Amino acid sequence: MKNKVAELISAQVESLSKEEILSLIEIPPKTEMGDFAFPCFKLAKTYRKAPQAIAAELKEKMENASFLSKVECLGPYLNFYVNKQEMARQIVENYKNCKNYGGAEEKNSKTICIDYSSPNVAKNFHVGHLRTTIIGNSLNNIYRKSGYDVVRINHLGDWGTQFGKLIVAYKRWGSQQAVENEGISELMRIYVKFHEEAEKDDSLNDEARSWFTKMEHGDEEALSIWRWFREISLKEFMSVYKMLDIDFDSYDGESFYNDKMAAVIEELKEKGLIKVSEGAQIIDLEEYGMPPCLITKKDGSSLYATRDITAALYRKNTYHFDKCLYVTGLEQKLHFAQWFKVIELMGYDWAKDLYHVPYGLVSLKGGKLSTRKGNIIYAEDILNESIQKTRSIIEEKNPDISDKEEVSREVGIGAIIFNDLYNQRIKDVVFDWDKILNFDGETGPYVQYTYARAASVLRKIGDKTDEIDYNVLTDDTSMALIKEIERYPQAVKDAADRMEPYIISRYAVALAQAFNKFYHDCQINVLEDNIRNTRANIVEIVKNIIKDALSLLGIKCPEQM
C-alpha cells in the first residue's frame, strides 16, 4: 500500500524519486488522520510555494485510485485514506502467497560468518557469555530467514597466557582427582588462587608466561594438560548450549590458528607493517588515532590480535564470506578497530566487510562480573532458576496443564532470552525476575501466552474454510491487527540491516498486543460462517507469525500455558 501511494505521488512530483518519496511517507499519529501522510516541506524550494499550497495542489491532481477511499490536505501534509477492504485483501493475500513470509523466497548466494559465544576454556560459562550466545544465535536465525548462508563460529578462548597461569596453579594447588570430580569449578578455584598469590609474588606471572611459551613451542607436557582442561570445559559448555537449543558449525578456537600465525606475521613483515618496540613486534596505528596493535610479546608469544587477524584470513579463504560479524562486548571496541585497520593496511579490500557487533553489560547484584575475582553468576544457574520460577507460576495459574515440565523449560528459558533481546543490544541487561516472568507485560511469557491463546481459539473452532469475507475486517481493531501483520517483513529486514534482534522482539509484542485487543473486541467463534471463518483465518496467520518471530529470537512456543 505504501508503494502504491508512493507511485501515485511520483506521477505528480518529478523532482523526487520514488525511493525518496517512500522515505518521506509517514504513518499519521491518529487513525482519523488517515493511513499514510506525505509532508510537502521538501518541495517548497522547488515549487517556490508554501507547503500547505503545494499539498492542496497535489490533492487536486491525485487520480481516483481504487485502493484509496479519499485524499485530504491537513496543513502541509497530504493524507491518504486507504480502502480498508482492499487493504485487508492485499495484505492477507500477500501473506498467503509467500512461502517464507517476512523472509527471502530464494537463497541470495551470500555468506555471513558470525563469531559468537566463544567462552574461555577452564572458566565458567557466565551470564556475560550468555549475552553473546543469545544475540549471535538470533542474528544467525534472522540472516538465514533473509536468504543467507550462515557459518556459526564458536571461537573458543582456548589459548593464551591464562593457560600458563592455570598450569602453574594446577601444579601448585590442584590435583587430578579434584579436577576430575569438580570440573570447571575446581579450575576456577585454582585460577582465582593464582591471582591472589601473584599479587604477593610477581614471579608467578613469569612462571605462567614460561609455561605458555612452552605450549606455543609444542611442549607435550604443557599441551597434554591444556587438552585435558579444554575437554572438561567443552563438556560443561555443551550442557548450556543444549538448554538453549543452540549449535555451531565450527568450534575452532584460538588454538586452531597456532600453526597458521607464523605465515601471517611473515606477511606483515614483508608488507613493511611490523615495527620492533622494546623487543615486542607491533604495528604503529598512531596515524589513525589508535595505540599500536601488538602482534608478539618480547618473548615471542602471540596475542589476541595475532590470532584474530589469522582467523579472519582463514575464514575469508575458507568460507568466502560477504560479511563477518563479531558479537562481543562494547569494551572490546578498540581491539576490533585496531586489527580491522591492520587487515585494511595489509591491502585486503574486504576489511570493510568485518563488523564488530557490540553489546552492553549484564547488570546483577555485585556489579560487573569478573572471573579473576570469583564473583561469577553462572549462565546455567540463571536458566535453571528461571525454569523453576516459571514452574511455580504455572502450578499456581494452570496446575492441570499437560507437559508441565516442557512448558516450564520453554517459557523459563524464553523469558531470559526475550529479556536480553528486548532492548538495543548496546544497552545493559538487568535481571529483574518480577519483570522477566510477567505474563502481562512486554515480556517473552506475554507473547508466548498470546500464541497459546490463539492456538486455543483455533482448537475450539475446529474445522474452518479458507474463505475470507474482507468486509468483516474493516473495523478499526481488525485493521490495526492487519497492519501489524503487514509490518513483519519490514521488521525482519530492519533487524538484518541493523544487526538488531530487538526489532523482532518489539514487533512480537506489538503484534501480540494488537491480537489481544482483537480477541477482546471481535468475537471469533460466532454462528455466522463468514465472520467465524474470516476471523479464524486471521487468528491462524497471527499464530504463525508469532511462532516465526519468536523462533528468530531462539524462543519456542508452547501450545498451552
Catalytically annotated residues: 123, 126, 129
In single-letter form, the type of residue at position 335 comes to H
Q: From residue 87, how far is each of 4, 11, 504, 554 by CA, in Å?
A: 11, 21, 23, 32
Q: Which residue type occupies 404?
A: K
For residues 292 and 391, give the distance between their C-alpha atoms in angstroms, rounded to a whole number.
53
DSSP-assigned beta bridge partners for residue 325? 114, 355
Whole-Å CA distances, 1 to 6, 91, 478: 9, 9, 17
State the residue for C-alpha cell 613486534. 281
Cell numbers standing for residue 80 = 491518504
Helix (H, G, I), strand (E, B) or coil at 302: strand
Burial class, 439, CB count within 10 angstroms (exposed 0-12 / middle 13-18 / buried 19+): middle
CA angle 73, 84, 475 (to 5 degrees): 110
Contacts of 296 (CB under 8 A, 6+ apart): 265, 280, 281, 302, 303, 306
Whole-angstrom distance, CA of residue 79 vs CA of residue 37 = 4
Distance CA 417, CA 410 (A): 10
Instruction: Give me the phi and psi of 78, to 5 degrees please.
Output: -105, 115
Q: What CA–CA distances, in Å, run from 77 to 28, 54, 66, 346? A: 10, 9, 21, 52
Q: What is the DSSP letter of 320?
A: -
